[in-house]
Amino acid sequence: MKKNISIEEIEMKKGIAYDDKHEIQSALPAWYKSIRTKKLSQLSEGDLARFIRQGMYLEYILFESINRLYKNPCSGEKYNGELIEVISKDIDTFFWKENEDCRKHLSNFLSHFSSNISMEDYEELDDFEKEEIMESVNNLSRTIN
């Protein structure tokens, strides 16, 4: 799977014909229109989290999201740990069972996290944020195993 493609390219792969002529002007359609031509690597953590919350293009969005977690497990736009939290809370067990490549990528990240990352190294986080991130990691571990 080509991982750094645009949302527009994902639409084409999925056979989705984007038409904004009859679209109601609200925040979600306006946001979507503004990011359609961006490559996954150009999306913000907030964009990725929004796609996950909407359940859109998860098999693509999750690869980029997990790659971001390798760089910073506390990634988020609205708050620290937002990205790992939405992955933990907004994706059901069925998705992981049906999408083995995504599950393996997440499993590899979780192994990396448990072996190489200490929340004590993130001094900028308060104890609550650290606990929330660890809870998300533990939830994900239980979900995919």
Range of the domain at 126: 7-13+28-144
Percent of the chain with pLDDT over 90: 76
The single-letter code of the amino acid at 42 is Q
pTM of the model: 0.91
Return d(Cα 89, Cα 66) in angstroms, integer.
15
Q: How many domains does the chain have?
A: 1
The single-letter code of the amino acid at 45 is E
Q: Token pair 């049906």 is at which residue? A: 98
> Which DSSP state fits 42?
G
pLDDT one-digit tens code per residue, 26-56? 788 888 889 999 999 999 999 999 999 999 9
- Binned at pLDDT 50, 70 and 90, residue 2 comes out as low
Residue 18 included in any domain: no
- Which of 39, 122, 107 lies closest to 73 in space, CA to CA? 122
Residue 87 included in any domain: yes
Between 5 and 28, where is the model more confident? Answer: 5
Residue 95 included in any domain: yes
Residue 20 included in any domain: no
Residue 1 included in any domain: no
Model pLDDT, residue 145 = 82
Model pLDDT, residue 17 = 82
**CA-CA distances (angstroms) from residue 82 to 9, 18, 46, 61, 145?**
26, 28, 8, 15, 22
